[in-house]
Chain A
Amino acid sequence: MTDAPFEISDDTLRLSGELSLGRVARMQIPDHLPVDRIDLDSVEKLDTAGAWFLVQLSERAGGASIHGATPSQTALIETVRRSAGAAEDPPEDHVTLRGGTVALGHIVWDGIRDVLGLTAFLGRFVAELGQLLRHPTRLRGVSLVHHMQAAGLDAVPIVTLMAFLIGVVVAFQGSAQLERFGAEIFVVDLIAISVLRELGILLTAIIVAGRSASAFTAAIGTMKMREEVDALRALGLDPDVVLVAPRILALIIMLPILGILANIAGLAGGATMAWIDLGIAPGAFADRIVTGIGAWHLAVGLIKAPFFALIIGLVGCRNGLRVGGDAESLGRLTSTSVVTSIFLVIAADAVFSIFFALMGV
């Protein structure tokens, strides 16, 4: 090493230059040190890292004494010697069969607890809803309207645009296939049934899940981190009433309305494409829907909306209340909210499909 400050003579180790963090990091302690004095006379600067280095040197040399330190350097060396502590070896992580099994058990158990927790939260919300029906004045009207605007009205442009484009896509794909059988008029049935029953409401729910579940978690989670939720409780206000109920109710009211708008936009998109591509006039398109498509198709779609809203609201609010003290948990739970609510919405949609198929509607 070029800048080694060691110089050994007469059982004395002389050190020189700066003993500071940047330099000490590049120096190595020799394995064999036949000295019993360490001399600091020509050391210019000493910091904590340098002091630690001296303590290590003195131990390696079998307890060599340190000379030539100024009073403040002595104080620093003493402080570091006291704080150096035992060199502890962190327990190594061995991946064992037992450890793996335990970890798997934890994952399963956490999953089950998560489902139970969500169910309990649903129960709390339903109980709260019952209370609100008996005492409607407890409902936070201003808050409800605010969330109806934020989660509902503000989502109208993106939801209708998306539904319109989906209508275009379905019409375009459908017409290419149906044209081969000369059954172009059935493209109307294809668009109407797929948009009204499934696509309109499902895609609306997915967009709202992405917009609002994350917003609910982030907003409530930040309040939790800043102890605002605790402050509410301390004031005798129930966070379920003040924070959770208005948000979920706002979604339950707004999602069916967004669904209807999505249906209209989707049909408009489909009709436009059918007109351009197949020459089916909008009048004929409308006629076909009125005569050929039952009202149940519309109802099947809209019945699902409040349930989807409930899922999105519950997941978003519950994850917000689970945020801990650190910024990382806020980010993690916000993304969990979006993923979980979209997954649960699609799973619920599958259950509804089976249910309606069995009921024959």
Chain B
Amino acid sequence: MDHVIRVRGLCTRFGDHIVHEDLDLDVRRGEILGVVGGSGTGKSVLLRQIIGLLDPAEGEIEVLGEPVRDTSPEAFRRLRRRWGVMFQGGALFSSLSVRENVEAPMREQFDLPDEFRETLAAIKVRMVGLPENAMDKRPSELSGGMRKRAGFARAIALDPEIVFLDEPTAGLDPIGAAALDSLVAQLRDALGLTVFLVTHDLDTLHAICDRVAVLAERRVLAIGTLDELRAVDHPWIRDYFGGPRGRAAAGEH
């Protein structure tokens, strides 16, 4: 099996507080992996460590076969080009328009003619389903859902191989959340992405995730399809997937 992300023996400590201890995780090429866990189990921390924003205390992290830690700045720059990240609130640059936000990574990584870059950015903005008039708006003029879409457009600006999404559907209405889910699945098929998705949204897990990793007890407690996870006998997993919301989400799909 071709693994695009490989985490081994990861330990994370904040002072005396231990977040991860000896955590292992593999992500397969082309899959949509959902990462779930209670608040404070270090889901977002794990995401930030994989993309090199945070340095763990111990452990190895390999993305696309290259180490994220202990690498030269030049090699890390080349590696960073091959993934895209969408942060929780979209994290759009507030002084740039939506199109300029999508252009930003292209401008940084490639020396492209202006017109070509604008055309490509416009394609990406339309791909994520934003209306034509959103192109030149500032992020503060957009609704929460549109901001997430714009953040997604910026994440896929360079045709990355992996996309990291931090709670993409949080704060969206059910219709907007479902639309974003199908957008992620659709673009995964079109662009051949691998998606690493941190979420709390049970509907998202059911709708698009190929596998789900459960973070609990400072490690990946279980990983597998939803059916496999339901068979796991662990109080937290039982409560999560067997609770009223979990059952409701399962019943619909």
Interface set of A (CB-CB < 8 Å, partner B): 20-22, 25, 47-49, 52, 72, 75-76, 78-80, 82-85, 87, 324-328
Contacts and interface: CB of A to CB of B under 8 A. Distances in A.
Interface string B177-194: 000000000110111100
A176 to B, nearest CB: 51
Interface in B90-141: 94-95, 106, 110, 112-113, 116, 119-120, 122-124, 126-127, 132, 138-141
A25 B94 contact: no
A25 B110 contact: yes
Contacts of A22: 110
Interface residues of B, number: 27
7 contacts: A25-B116, A47-B191, A48-B120, A48-B123, A48-B191, A85-B122, A85-B126
Given A21-B110, A76-B191, A326-B95, A52 B123 contact: yes
Contacts of B110: 21-22, 25
Contacts of A25: 110, 112-113, 116
B126 A325 contact: no
Nearest to A47: B159
Q: For chain B, what secondary structure do more than half of its interface residues adopt (helix, strand, loop), or is it mixed?
A: helix
Nearest to B156: A48
B94 A327 contact: yes
Contacts of A80: 123, 127
Given A52-B123, A326-B140, 13 more contacts: A25-B116, A48-B120, A48-B124, A49-B120, A52-B119, A78-B190, A79-B127, A79-B190, A85-B126, A326-B94, A326-B95, A327-B94, A327-B95
A84 B119 CA distance: 8
A84 B122 CA distance: 8
A264 B119 CA distance: 66
B68 interface: no
A141 B176 CA distance: 46
A48 B159 contact: yes
A83 B127 contact: yes
A71 to B, nearest CB: 9
Contacts of B106: 21
Contacts of B124: 48, 83
A26 to B, nearest CB: 9
A327 B93 CA distance: 8
A324 B106 CA distance: 28
A52 B116 CA distance: 10
B146 interface: no
Contacts of A87: 119
B74 to A, nearest CB: 17
B95 A72 contact: no
A78 B123 CA distance: 12
A85 B127 CA distance: 10
Contacts of B63: none
A103 B119 CA distance: 31
A325 B140 contact: yes
Contacts of A326: 94-95, 138-140
B139 A325 contact: yes
A54 to B, nearest CB: 13
A319 to B, nearest CB: 17
Nearest to A56: B119
